[in-house]
A and B are shown apart, each in its own frame.
Chain A
């Protein structure tokens, strides 16, 4: 077991040479210098020096000091020195300090006594403690509470030592007596805790005999009581659970919120009865609304979330209380609340929830909150989710939401329009009113992405004559008068274009950066698409109604193509519903006029960029179609679009249900699980209690108590030979990589017939690695071996190299001999693990991260898919691109990979490959990360592994 560390102090100026200075200062009589020297000594010790000679100096000169600070520092010093020898026996000289500690325990200064007692809590050497026990016990009756407090905790920790019950055999009785007469809150707590851990039945007796007064106890003691109750009730088949629950209920009205919080937790673990759970849930909800601290809110929400997974039926009732927490200004809290609530929806409460959300949406309009846009987006998404699950509520909200189509927050507006699109497809009843509404509010839409989506909806779902006509006229209105551009305007236009020029130029410059598209294709963006994603505000805001016109004039030809398609679609539909051919032809020519105007604009010199080829082709196609219609074409345009959209929705739904199923699968019972029979006595409470054991485990996990020793066969694979067989010293290392540290177990064998003295394993590191301990010197007998353990701290994901040498002396050669070791390379793969993230975040990170490493593909693998799999396997990353997008043989492949390191760093990889005519693959793998380390090391790794084939 490694020595526990009790304090850390940053200190980088230390050297072993200071020891002499410290010694001199300690021997002097100047108190200030002594204090300083003690501090330096402690810091040196913390830095890994051993300073073995210092102990006797300390005993001689520091022990008798009267100064309080020196005494306290002395205790710190004693705390951190090695009190045991290599074999684990207590060092004999520790007895020397005994007398001093004893004196301190009788010191007239109560604080000296107190700190000494506190120090004893951290001491685990029975040899030292034993003679002190009578003095500690004497302190139990001291009149100063400071001393009693610490005496109680000292007794508690001594009693808990192995064989501690022999040191203080009557500790529980003593403590119980002390508890009965104690007044000080903290001392009572310590006494009670001692009984809880060492003599539970006494603690229980005390608790039960004071059950009526528990509510008046100080909060510290109440906390301890709750803790005890949790612990007691962990043992199965407690018939007297009721009594404890009664106490808990009493404590629920405690003025201390901490106690209340703890009680709620205990209540859930005590019983799975709906009443208890409901009480707990209500308590949490109260805390949620009464506490203003965001941390508390978030953690309480976590607790509620846990309750949701185990007791959903109860939680459903408190949904409205949870929703009230939306009043918090913190977005994280709001997000969590919404997530929680969405999981608790039932047919019964959905109306209420949606109503509340609607109110919140309205509030965001009025309030001048900073993040109202983002919040609105969250609300819209939440409502969207509600409506998908319970379509009947869609009608009540969709109209409200459609007001936000013209929202300045593009993301929110996009969400709204996507919501509308989905609802209009799934809820045919709402179609008429929604289309009407959309036509009415269309002119408010500012963002081109929202526009194009809204146009698609108009084109697709305007069915009746009046709708189609209205839609056409709305679009035309928004476009304004054609032509967009006349020769006469040229003069002014060039003028007005001039100031616009630099702006657009800057867009092109910034857009030179390659961008990964949603499907994983890796494209160099053109200015036009850039304009789509960034709402062009400058020219658009000039005219309020002519939103389409201003967007087109700003050079958004993609939108122009969408307009053309929509018009085409509407005209085709008009042909079906309009009996009068005259009207149809009129509309048709109107549409054609618009399209040609756009084309004309696109080819003029008015705009800095001419129309892009894609949009041009598309518009020309539309023109051709309108001039020359046919049934096939009509079918394609009027039906297939809708069908494929429906198919997409269906697939989305299917995927969601698949995911749900996959999730449900996890929670299925294991084959060897016990089965609860509903009609028999429920064991559910008990299994909950088993969960409680995790509380203990939790602490252990937190302190790093769980380090599983996997002595499997793989272990041998990780042995590295560090020196040659013919070297005088043979060394090999076994490397274990934990989360934040690397442990090298080095076996050193003396191959000579001489004793090697002062043998030292000196290690140095490259990369973000740091040695924890200083190397020690050893003496190695002829042909004997030694195990040395070295800890290395890792602080970021990076390929690290550990190198070093073994230095030793022999008796006949005067100077030290050196054996250089092989380098140890730490593999980055040990640190990254596959992870997932949303497309949007991936792209945001991609744009944000500074380090890119571009690796040209060079491989013998002929198949794109196979190559991708190979890379995924060798880099331990996850492919974010859905498998459906990777299906089929087309000679191209683009995919995004993602992984996260244990330090929370993100690693992004994009693979874009193409099959050449000769069957070889070519392309690039790009790695991006926030830090250079990952980008470089991952790149090296890929370069090394990509060849494949072998």
Chain B
């Protein structure tokens, strides 16, 4: 009792529209439809034709045939019901019942067919219901939209209030001292307010969540979004909103991670990571220390978000080497907090900075997979700790926009494979680069200019580039995303030694530490 396909063909045998409900190859369905007009006899008083393999149940509608193809065991009574329903639907959706009219409304017909037949099974629906389904009018959606609108308004009010408070505060502070202190502490208040909001309004992040998936995507996904984002509505005081948004993205990421979504890791098309992908380890024990940077810097200076997440992962090749403890040491950085795997002995870690299993009889898991043992987070670092800062100065002169970009790297790190991606307005040809330290590449598909510097060390702590494009709004060159890697970390966490739990020599081990960017943007 399966309908293989519902089709409309012209009397001359031209297949106008056909919707298949089970898997069949194109040549098969075309063959079946082409054979049909030859099989249909004239002057018959019944409207079905059987061939060796299939049964056609049809109904002539003016110059067309409405046709169901079923298998031969199909229940004819049901099929006729379905056909009757479809024959009522066709004139509803196609006002003129000729080839042209049907072709014009082909997709509407397909949508209607879909409602009437579900995976080849008949649905008990009426014409009215199908129409309702196809119109897709939903009260819930309307209610939801209203709610969203009111929430946005509400938030805007709160924001205004906060902003005015801030102004007031700033003015008071300005009177007291002239430190850059307020730049950091100010937005934090706002951030909190937005954090609250984003938790309650769950649907709000649906559009912007895409940005969280990939940095690449984010650069253009934020552009075409028709959503009246708060940043657009209040550009002057939008700093808080911006912050909230990235915050939200991160939260989304976190929540996805918490749900155990592996997919996110795959998605990140971070060119940096792929280039420095480690060779398969040859030592019996490998410790990987990795820190990921999540940074959002404002284009006019100041840090929106500066967050470092680190992991210490262990890879043990053989079971026998699994009974070990790791002695670690790290630099004391303010704002650093550790989190250990539930199976790690916490006391031991807190008191002696030794990573060992709670149950001494259980070895660390072995194999090709890395097991994360310790995670840490550093937050609340200030602008001065940024490894790389980028300044972008677009200036319009006449028919051209000159864009000057410079970078400045901190002394702490030597940065490898630095890529600075600047979104450009859609261009027909590559921008003309006047001056550059390093190399550039233009990705016309995504209209992104990539400025890459292989290594930033003592010799080139700062550099610049200049290019010219047709006139464009300065904001189009943001957000700039930056990717790099470095071999030292913020926490400077190290494994100083491995102690075997059982007798014997400690296994040989290697450790690798690196700092990579997860999301480093200038907005």
Query: A residues within 8 Å of B by Cβ?
Result: 2-11, 27, 29, 39, 42, 53, 56, 60-61, 63-66, 68, 72-73, 76, 95-96, 98-100, 103, 106-112, 114-115, 118, 121, 127, 130-131, 134, 146, 149-150, 153, 157, 185-186, 189-190, 193, 218-220, 223, 227, 257-258, 261-262, 265, 291, 293-299, 330-333, 695, 698-699, 701-704, 739-741, 772, 791, 793, 795-796, 903-905
Contacts and interface: CB of A to CB of B under 8 A. Distances in A.
18 contacts: A4-B20, A8-B30, A9-B103, A10-B17, A66-B226, A76-B107, A98-B263, A108-B140, A108-B145, A111-B133, A112-B136, A118-B118, A220-B123, A698-B71, A740-B32, A740-B35, A772-B30, A793-B30
Interface stretch (B76-84, B282-290, B470-478, B508-516): B76-84
Contacts of B207: 64, 103
B107 A186 contact: no
A64 B225 contact: yes
B17 to A, nearest CB: 6
Interface string B12-30: 0111111110111111111
Contacts of B133: 111, 114, 146
A185 B7 contact: no
Interface in B58-111: 69-73, 75-78, 80-81, 99, 103, 106-107, 110-111
B234 interface: no
A330 B133 CA distance: 39
Contacts of B35: 740, 795, 903-904
A291 B76 CA distance: 12
Contacts of B111: 72
Given A261-B77, A295-B57, A703-B28, A8 B15 contact: yes
Contacts of A73: 107
B210 A99 contact: yes
Nearest to B118: A153
Contacts of A261: 75-77
Contacts of B19: 6-7
B217 interface: yes
B315 to A, nearest CB: 25
B38 to A, nearest CB: 5
Contacts of B26: 2-3, 5, 8, 772
Interface stretch (B41-49, B173-181, B323-331, B490-498): B41-49
Contact of B119 (A3, A99, A131, A157): A157
Contacts of A333: 46
Nearest to B39: A904
A103 B205 CA distance: 10
Contacts of B57: 295
Interface of B: 1-2, 4, 7, 13-20, 22-35, 38-39, 44-48, 52-54, 57, 69-73, 75-78, 80-81, 99, 103, 106-107, 110-111, 114, 118-119, 121-124, 133, 136, 138, 140-141, 143-145, 203, 206-207, 209-210, 213-214, 217, 220-221, 224-227, 259, 261, 263, 266-267, 445-446
Contact of A64 (B214, B226, B446): B226
Contacts of B121: 189-190, 193, 220
B217 A96 contact: yes
Contacts of B220: 60
A702 B224 contact: no
B263 A4 contact: no
Contact of A739 (B31, B38, B225): B31
Contacts of A131: 261, 263
B118 A103 contact: no
Given A108-B144, A257-B77, A294 B46 contact: yes
B118 A10 contact: no
Given A76-B107, A739-B31, A153 B54 contact: no
Contacts of B13: 795
Contacts of A114: 133
B119 A153 contact: yes
A7 B110 contact: yes
A600 to B, nearest CB: 48
A702 B53 contact: yes
B28 A109 contact: no
Contact of A42 (B2, B32, B107, B225): B107
A171 B80 CA distance: 33
Nearest to B76: A299
A146 B77 CA distance: 25
Contacts of B261: 131
A295 B80 contact: yes
B37 to A, nearest CB: 9
A419 B394 CA distance: 105
A904 B44 CA distance: 16
Nearest to A65: B226
Contacts of A100: 210
Contacts of A296: 76-77, 80
Contacts of A107: 141
Given A704-B28, A740-B34, A220 B226 contact: no
A262 to B, nearest CB: 6
Nearest to A13: B103
B118 A186 contact: yes
Contacts of A111: 133, 136, 138
A40 to B, nearest CB: 11
B20 A7 contact: yes
Given A61-B224, A332-B45, A795-B34, A8 B210 contact: no
Nearest to B57: A295
A295 B203 contact: no
Nearest to A772: B27
A103 B7 CA distance: 32
A227 B122 CA distance: 14
Contacts of A185: 124
Contacts of B20: 4-8
A297 B72 CA distance: 15
B30 A702 contact: no
A53 B31 CA distance: 31
Nearest to A127: B263
Given A64-B207, A258-B77, A295-B48, A10 B15 contact: yes
Contacts of A703: 4, 22-24, 28
Which are the 10 A-B pairs with shortest beta-carbon distances?
A740-B31, A5-B26, A704-B28, A4-B23, A108-B144, A111-B136, A258-B77, A8-B18, A109-B141, A294-B46
A264 to B, nearest CB: 11
B53 to A, nearest CB: 4
Contact of A95 (B4, B143, B267): B267
A511 to B, nearest CB: 27
Contact of B53 (A118, A218, A701): A701
Given A68-B136, A262-B75, A793 B119 contact: no
A329 B71 CA distance: 28
Between A68, A219, A699, A740, the greatest number of chain B beta carbons within 10 A of the residue's beta carbon is seen for: A699
A112 B134 CA distance: 10
B27 A791 contact: yes
Contacts of A218: 124
A695 B70 CA distance: 12
B296 to A, nearest CB: 21
Between B26, B114, B224, the greatest number of chain A beta carbons within 10 A of the residue's beta carbon is seen for: B26
A106 B210 CA distance: 15
A792 to B, nearest CB: 9
A29 B76 CA distance: 47
A56 B214 CA distance: 14
A165 B520 CA distance: 39
A931 to B, nearest CB: 10
Given A131-B263, A904-B39, A695 B73 contact: yes
A704 B136 contact: no
B16 to A, nearest CB: 4
Nearest to B81: A258
Between B73, B76, B210, the greatest number of chain A beta carbons within 10 A of the residue's beta carbon is seen for: B76
Contact of B47 (A150, A295, A905): A295
